[in-house]
Structure formats: structure tokens, C-alpha cells
Structure 1
Amino acid sequence: MKGTLPRSVSPALRAAAARQRSVGAARWGVLLCALLAFLWGGVASAQTVGAHTTYPTAVDPRLEEAAPRPAPPSAVQPSAAQPSVEPTPPSDAEDATARPSDHPLAVGLEVPPVPEGFKTHDGGWIHFAYQPSSRARVETLKLAADKAREELREMLGQNVLERVHVRVGRTVTEMETLAPEGAGYPKYASGVAYSEIGLVLLTEQPRYPGERHDLVQIFRHELAHVALHDAVGHRNVPRWFNEGFAVHASGEAVTDRMQTLWTATLAGNLLPLADLAQRFPADATDASIAYAQAADVVRYLLRSHESYRFRALIERLRTGQDFEAALSDAYATDLSNLEYEWREDVARRYTFWPVLFSGSMVWMGALGLFVWGWRKRQKRNRKILARWAVEEAREDARRAEMANRPVHIVLARPSEGMPLPPGERISRPDIPKIEHDGNWHTLH
């Protein structure tokens, strides 16, 4: 279909071209059906797992009751007789949504000893303990540790993370067994930071099947909790500030947070910061807004030309000032004015462009490109067929003209006495000649 046919287009060739066009149309139809089916499946999948791919859970770990600690690792090894059971996602009634971290508040805890059979790595300021089978995953954490520490020190302006212990379990159940004795454990976390003793617990596998689980980002999130706790001298800060700093510093779910803020801004569903000082909402949607909003407020405080103010805020918190007073001294504003300025900034930034990154718009764009390509191909095919028709009509006209042109047959005899050119013989009178297009041809 890309080239042109010869001038003489036979009916058989035109029929073959028509069959080729039919096959091409059928292929495009199959591709369109496959795209629509995939789009429908993607929407259904997003509705199914959407509750487990957002942000940290809405449960306040500081107010959560201590969960009973499971048996030690040696007692929870899977066996062939007892297949493992996948945990079921929590419902809103259980006051939880999937999240990658938590930071329970506990006093008088001690770092538990390394379980038997675990490998260890001492990186100076950070100490890892993990199962031998988790070595490859832990190597990525080792590579990210020093850079994360330097970035946190730069943001906070304090020499934080002097000593951190990281314990990595293969599964969520094994991770829970690594918690300190008597410590509260968030029931729905995929990572935990016990900031008072510098202990971070991680799981190599996600808590729920299909859940987003970036181990390095979870690790950075937990380090941020410990670093902030060190920087403010182990003093309490508002919940939105603590979680917002950890989410922002880890760089997790940037696209999801952007889309959540865009939707909440247009719908007028942003939450008052005062309501997020102690705990976050239990509803999954409101919890996602709370985490996205908290992280963006911290981003606003950490703007490049205001970063020195953020370090001043941390220093004042470290000396014992409460958050409102420290904010007023460092930024020359109170929490209400800060929230007002931040909301104006969000209204300017979150216009319609973030929707381009949403899954629905991506698929709509793909479908639009598909339709555009199909129509362009059809238009090109129509042009080719029209050109073939013109060329065939011209060829038919030329043949008709040639068929109607007269043919003269002349019996030639040279004149007597006329000299002949050298080497030419006298033509026989019985051999006819034909004139065609001004030329004479001898018939043999």
C-alpha cells in the first residue's frame, strides 16, 4: 500500500489491493479492541489496589495500642505443612490505610540483640542486620545510606544520625518479631522507626500483594523520622510536620501526591493544619490528602530562599521552644498565616497540567493517537486509490486512441533509373511497408 502500481492496473491486482486493505482494517480493529480491553482492565485494577498504593496509614502511632509481638524468627519459619497466608487489607473501619512507615513513641526501650542466623554489616554510623537471603536488597540500602544522611543533615542543619540500627526482615511477620520488647507496633506498617533508640525496621516484601514497595524510599522515610527526632532534641512536633518532613525527604509517591493535591485543591478538600497536629484522618481519601498536604507544606518551608529559616526553626525547637513560637521567630509568621500563604501557592501551582500525569489522561491520549493514526492511514489509502483510478483512466484513453488510429499499407517500388545507396538492394514489389507514427516499417 505504500508504493504505486504500474500504469496498467489489472482487475486482479486491484482485487488484491482491496483484500490487503481489508486485512489492514481488521488488524487495526483488533488493536483497538485490545487497547480498550487493556484500558478497562487498568481502570478496574486501579480501583482494586488503589487503597494500598497511596501514602502512610492514617493511624497515629503515638496513640496506637501496643500490638502483641509475634514469636521470634526461629519459631515462624514457613513449613511445607503450613502454607503461608497472605494478610488481608484493612478496611476504613479498622482505622488504617496502607503506608510505608511509622514512628511509635516509647520510653525506656533498648535495641534488641541481633537474632540468631542474621548477617551483620557495620557501616560506622549505621549497623545493618538481615537474613543471608536478603543480602542483595540490603546492598542497595548501604549504597543509599551515606547520601541520605548528608541530605538530611543539610536540610536540618544538625549533625544527626550518629548511630542507627537497621533490621531487615524477609516478610512483614518476621519484621514484627524484630521490634523491641514491650514496644508498640503499628499494625499496618511496612516500615517502622523507633526514633528514641535509633532503630529502623524494614520488610523486604510488601505487606499486601500488589502494594507499591520501594525499599530504598521506605528506608529514607524512616531515616528522616530518626533524623528529625535527633535534630529537635527528642522533643515532640506536630504530626503533620513530622510525617510531612519524612515524606518530602524520602521523595516517595511524588506523582501521586501531586495528583492528590491537584484534586483536593480544585474540590476545596484541603484540610486545616490545626486538625493534623495530633492525628491524621481515618478515612483513606482524607489520609492521602493529609500526607500529601503535610509534605507540600514542608516543601514550602524548605524553599531555596527560605532554607536558612527552616534550619533556624529546627534550632529553636531544639532549644525547647514550642512549635508556634519557633515558627514565629524563624519565619516571622504564625501557623494561620503560613497556611494561608501555602494555600495561595498551591492554588497557583496546581492548575490543569498535573492531570496530564494521571493514568486516565495517559490512556485517553493513547486512544486519541490510535484514532489519529487510523484516520491518517485511511486518508492515505484513499489518495492512493484515487491516483490509481486517474492513471488507469489515462491508460485506457491512450489505448483507445491507439486502437482508432488508421494504419496505411503501401507497396513500394523504387523509381527506374534512380541510383540506390551503397549496399541497399532493390525492394521486392510484393513486400508491403507500413507507415506508423511517421515511420515506415517492412512487413516480414
Structure 2
Amino acid sequence: MLVVLAAASAASMSAQTPPDPAGWRSLQGTTITARYQGTDSLRAARALALLESTTRLPGLSQPGPRLTLTVAPTRAVMDSLVGGRVPEWAGAVAISERMEMIIPGGRFWPGTLLEEVRLLRHEWAHLLLAHEMGSLRIPRWFNEGYAEWAAGGWSGGGAWKLRVALAFGDAPPLDSIALRWPRDRVPAEVAYLLSASVIQYLVESSGTRGLETFLAEWKRQRSFEAALRGVYGATQAQLETDWRKWVKRRYGWLTVLADSAVFWAILSVALVAMFVVRRRYRREQMARLRADEPPDAPEFWKAGGGEPVDPGPPSR
């Protein structure tokens, strides 16, 4: 993989253009133009290679448009490009109106290569989904859920994280799919996973072909609700009810306890705790028994000289 990336990066670097008056340089890919400043050329080339080597996203029928990938050298530049303050935990931003993805420069990129791949696919999915649906309004939960699901965040341990969140009550209420998107990192991560679970539920119901058919019907009828009824045979309210039951049944706390690894881990901890408590109790009990025992040489055995007196044989 590293060899492929290196080769792709070298090919991208050969298409480098001179800087514009603002200091931006660009790398021209097949379907993506990557912009960067200063020393972020390798970061731009790697991101460009990763995106252009990615296969078509599930459910989307047409090839994507030409995109712009901008590597922001600082948080301040990133905020100015977005037009507002980006949360510290947010790794990137997709702006569908400009078909542009903005990612942080290498100097303040906190993640691993695997996280970078997922992040790029997530934002790329936002742009391609927006292009696919045109002027139609995409519900926030569907937009974020599809991007998270398509990026592999769901298959990469997302289901287990959701189980833990639901088990400990750290998830938003499941009474509505229309999630109010939080800005704090942990609640936002759970919201992403909940939204992705809706897409996973739809895919398990009818496969990626069903998802593709749903998107096509949505475009044709220009109605999310009508396409949902036509393809999945449910209104959004019915989908919400069925999805909520599915999530609670599959990812609730009972599922966590039913998992064999979790069960044995909890049982092991419980046994260790019981052993420690039992051992402490036995020590305290022995200490109390020793305190109640008579001494080896009680005072009434002693004569005036302080030595124990032999009581002699018992009298008859």
C-alpha cells in the first residue's frame, strides 16, 4: 500500500502548478485538485492518492464531479476557509456548495493513517451524496449516517462503541431519528454512530442495491417520504419505530451482557472482587478470635515473683 501511495504521490507531484498570489499551490489529479501551502505538499499528494484510489461508494449510481481538496496549514486558515469556527475534534469539513473538502495540514493532524483514510472517505461521501441528490434537501441524520457508514466507521468498531454508549446511557434518546447535532466530541461521535446504524439497518433490510434504488426513487419523485414508502414500505415514523427496536435489541445493554467475552470478563472481575472481600472478611474474623483468646500466662497463674505457679495435680 505504501508503495502504491508513493508512486501515486510522485505522479501527482509531477502535475504541480506554480503558486497563486495567495501562496496556494495545486496538484492536479484525475478528478481532484489538491491545494496546499508551504510544506504540506506531501500531505496533499497522499490525500489525493488515497481519494483517487478509492472505489465507488455504495449506493451511488453516477461518477462523482471534479472536487477540490484544500489542505489548511493552520486552524485559523481552516476556520477562515469554512467561514466559522471548526470544532477542535473535527478532522475535516466538506462544503457541498463548492464541492470542496478542507483538511488540516500535517503539523496539526492528530490521527493515524487509518483514521485519515476514514476521514477522507467520510468527507468525500458527503460531497458525492450531495452531487447525487442535486438540489434536494438531505436530512442531517441521513447525510452524516451515510458518510459514516460509507467511510467504514461502522465496520471499524463503531457497532461496539454504540453498544457501550447505549449500555451506559451515554447516547442521545432513541425516540427520534432527527438528532440535534452536538458539538462536544463524545456526544457527536455517538450521534454519528446512531445515524450510521440507520443506514446499516436499511442495508441489512434490502442490501446496497436497495439503498441505491431508494436514492434513485428519491431523485425521481423528489420526495424522501415517498421514496421511503415505495422502496422500504414504511413511512419515516414507521422506520423510526422499527429502527429503534432494532437498535435496542441488537446494540442495547442486554447484548453487551450476552456477548461471551464481556460475560466472562465481568464474571472474572466479580470473582476477583468476591475473593478480595472474602479474604478481608476472614482476616478480620481471625483478628477478632485472637483478641478473645486467653493469654498463654494469665495473671492469676503468677506468684508474687512474677513466675507462673505450677498448680500441681488435681486434688481428689
| Residue number in structure 2 paired with 1:324 | 225
1:272-287 pair list within 5 angstroms: 272-276=175-179, 279-281=180-182, 285-287=186-188
Residue equivalent to 2:212: 311
2:31/2:52 contact within 8 Å kept: no
- 2:52 pairs, out of 134, 137, 146, with 146
Answer yes or no: is 1:174 the counterpart of 2:80: no
- Correspondence for 2:61 among 144, 148, 157: 157
Q: CA deviation at 1:163?
A: 1.0
- Match of residue 99 from structure 2: 198
Using the alignment, how far apart are the partners of 1:283 and 1:165 within structure 2?
28
Matches within 5 A, 1:177-256: 177-179=80-82, 183-184=83-84, 186-188=86-88, 189-205=90-106, 214-252=115-153
RMSD: 3.4
Kindly indicate whether residue 30 of structure 2 is the aligned counterpart of residue 124 of structure 1: yes
Q: CA deviation at 1:126?
A: 0.8
* Structure 1 counterpart of 2:41: 135
**CA positional deviation for 1:226:** 0.6
Corresponding letter in the other structure for 1:248: W
Match in the other structure for 2:234: 333
TM-score of the two chains, using structure 1 as the length reference: 0.47
> Which letter does structure 1 place at the counterpart of 2:56?
E
Question: What amino acid is the match of 1:272?
Answer: D
Q: TM-score, normalised by structure 2?
A: 0.64
For residue 260 of structure 1, the aligned residue among 153, 161, 179 is 161
Q: Distance in 1 between matches of 2:181 and 2:246?
A: 23
Shift of 1:242: 0.5
Instruction: Name the aligned partner's letter for residue 260 of structure 1.
Output: K
Distance, in Å, in 2 between the alignment partners of 1:258 and 1:283 is: 20
Q: How big is the shift at 1:230? A: 0.7
- SS in structure 2 of the partner of residue 128 of structure 1: strand
8 Å CA contact 1:309–1:330 kept in 2: the answer is: yes
> What amino acid is aligned across from residue 133 of structure 1 in structure 2?
T
Q: What is the DSSP-based 3-state SS (H/G/I as helix, E as strand, rest coil) of the residue aligned with 1:272?
A: coil
CA distance in 2, matches of 1:151, 1:115: 35
Q: Distance in 1 between matches of 2:156 and 2:135?
A: 32
Identity of aligned residues (%): 29
Contact 1:257–1:292 (CA under 8 A) maintained in structure 2: yes
Any stretches of 5+ residues in structure 2 without a counterpart? Answer: 1-18, 273-316
Distance, in Å, in 2 between the alignment partners of 1:280 and 1:206 is 28
CA contact (8 A) 1:190 1:207 kept: no
The SS at the match of 2:97 is helix
